[in-house]
């Protein structure tokens, strides 16, 4: 895997050289400007489907948790990582080329301990460390060189973004690599890496109870049983941590804020 996805000495004008009409590729890596254009187009389409949550405390907490994992993993590419919360009750976590990580409000409401939330972010940050979104899009762009509407996401959301061939889809080999790396990233961030198994088990339980709520994320990943196998193989190689982190008081406060918001919304409907 390439450790440096694109050169940083390129002039800012490159950003404008690849307009929304397509990406100029010659079989090499995407340039910094091209990655910014790609990420901007994808973010616009995602945030049209799922509006962003406008809650300062919740957003600040998610960003702090994500940046903490990044800071404890020095092999992360030097990207301007952003953590954005989507206002949907679906359980959905994904990331874009260039370092934007999306986490849904439904995921925040579903996790029971902070370690599970950290695990959700660690999976996407593992993809970022391994450059998976970038590598996948480099392949896509080179395979469709000259296609003017490659970044015009105007069709059905599911058709454009989900499942094999979709804009967010990563292949099985990439998912296996991410499942193997994510527990290690949690370990480096001083979380008990076993919370990663707890997170996957939570997804499995949710899938059994409400397939529609977790359907979008399920369409982007191999079966959870397989994901559990990969993660457990990685965990078996780690030494026990002394005094590992599992959850925090801040997490409980954020959960309380979200529960109160749900209660207020329910009371409003009742009135």
Which tokens go with 179?
Answer: 């499942």
Q: Is the pLDDT of residue 6 over 60?
A: no
- Count Cβ atoms within 10 A of the Cβ of residue 195 and give its class: 0-12 exposed, 13-18 middle, 19 or more buried: buried
- Alpha helices (H) along the chain: 14-17, 32-49, 56-71, 105-110, 114-129, 132-143, 157-161, 172-188, 195-209, 215-218, 224-235, 249-270
- Asked whether residue 264 is domain-assigned, the answer is no
Question: Which pLDDT belongs to residue 265?
Answer: 64
Choose from 29-38, 56-65, 259-268 the range with maximum mean pLDDT: 56-65
- Asked whether residue 243 is domain-assigned, the answer is yes
Question: Which pLDDT belongs to residue 7?
Answer: 37
- Asked whether residue 7 is domain-assigned, the answer is no
- Asked whether residue 35 is domain-assigned, the answer is yes
> In Å, what is the CA distance from 9 to each residue of 6, 97, 130?
9, 18, 22
The closest of 5, 264, 260 to 128, measured between CA atoms, is: 5
- Asked whether residue 268 is domain-assigned, the answer is no
User: What is the value of pTM for the model shown?
Assistant: 0.87
Cα 237 to chain center, whole Å?
25
Average pLDDT over every residue of 29-44: 88
Average pLDDT over every residue of 44-50: 94
Using CA atoms, how far apart are residues 263 and 265, in angstroms rounded to an integer? 5
Count the domains in the chain.
Answer: 1
- Asked whether residue 18 is domain-assigned, the answer is no
pLDDT per position as a tens digit, 142-189 = 887 666 667 788 788 889 999 998 999 999 999 999 999 999 999 999
Number of C-beta neighbours around residue 251 at 10 A: 21
Using CA atoms, how far apart are residues 209 and 204, in angstroms rounded to an integer? 9
Using CA atoms, how far apart are residues 43 and 4, in angstroms rounded to an integer? 22
Average pLDDT over every residue of 57-69: 97
Average pLDDT over every residue of 97-116: 96
Work out the pLDDT band at 25, boundaries 50, 70, 90.
Answer: very low
Question: Which pLDDT belongs to residue 21?
Answer: 40
Using CA atoms, how far apart are residues 36 and 97, in angstroms rounded to an integer? 8
Work out the pLDDT band at 18, boundaries 50, 70, 90.
Answer: very low
Question: Which pLDDT belongs to residue 155?
Answer: 81
pLDDT per position as a tens digit, 123-143 = 999 999 999 999 998 888 888
Q: Is the pLDDT of residue 32 over 90?
A: no
Work out the pLDDT band at 202, boundaries 50, 70, 90.
Answer: very high
- Asked whether residue 74 is domain-assigned, the answer is yes
Which tokens go with 4?
Answer: 């440096």
Domain that includes residue 243, residue range? 31-258
- Asked if residues 193 and 69 have their Cβ atoms less than 8 Å apart, the reply is no
Higher-confidence position of 169 and 8: 169
Work out the pLDDT band at 34, boundaries 50, 70, 90.
Answer: confident
- Asked whether residue 38 is domain-assigned, the answer is yes
Higher-confidence position of 266 and 154: 154
- Asked if residues 216 and 159 have their Cβ atoms less than 8 Å apart, the reply is no
Who contacts 230 (Cβ-Cβ below 8 Å, separation ≥6)? 176, 179, 180
Average pLDDT over every residue of 195-200: 98
Q: Is the pLDDT of residue 9 over 90?
A: no
Average pLDDT over every residue of 62-74: 98
The closest of 42, 47, 38, 4 to 18, measured between CA atoms, is: 38
Work out the pLDDT band at 8, boundaries 50, 70, 90.
Answer: very low
- Count Cβ atoms within 10 A of the Cβ of residue 83 and give its class: 0-12 exposed, 13-18 middle, 19 or more buried: buried
Q: Three-class SS of residue 124?
A: helix
- Asked if residues 8 and 14 have their Cβ atoms less than 8 Å apart, the reply is no
């Amino acid at each position: 895997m390439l450790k440096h996805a694109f050169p940083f000495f390129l002039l800012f004008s490159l950003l404008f050289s690849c307009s929304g009409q397509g990406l100029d590729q010659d079989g090499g890596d995407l340039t910094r400007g091209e990655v910014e254009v790609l990420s901007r187009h994808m973010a616009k389409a995602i945030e049209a489907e799922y509006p962003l949550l406008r809650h300062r405390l919740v957003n600040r907490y998610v960003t702090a948790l994500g940046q903490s994992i990044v800071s404890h993993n020095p092999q992360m590419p030097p990207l301007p990582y952003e953590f954005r919360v989507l206002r949907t009750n679906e359980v959905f976590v994904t990331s874009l080329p260039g370092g934007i990580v999306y986490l849904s409000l439904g995921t925040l409401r579903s996790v029971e301990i902070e370690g599970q939330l950290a695990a959700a972010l660690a999976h996407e940050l593992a993809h970022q460390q391994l450059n998976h979104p970038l590598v996948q899009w480099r392949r896509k762009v080179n395979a469709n060189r000259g296609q003017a509407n490659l970044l015009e996401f105007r069709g059905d959301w599911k058709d454009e973004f989900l499942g094999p061939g979709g804009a967010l889809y990563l292949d099985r080999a990439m998912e296996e690599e991410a499942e193997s790396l994510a527990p290690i990233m949690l370990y480096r961030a001083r979380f008990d890496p076993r919370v990663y198994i707890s997170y996957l088990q939570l997804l499995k339980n949710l899938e059994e109870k409400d397939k529609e709520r977790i359907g979008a994320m399920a369409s982007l990943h191999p079966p959870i049983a397989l994901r559990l196998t990969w993660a457990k193989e990685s965990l078996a190689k780690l030494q026990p941590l002394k005094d590992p982190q599992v959850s925090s008081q801040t997490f409980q406060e954020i959960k309380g804020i979200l529960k109160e918001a749900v209660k207020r919304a329910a009371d409003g409907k009742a009135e």
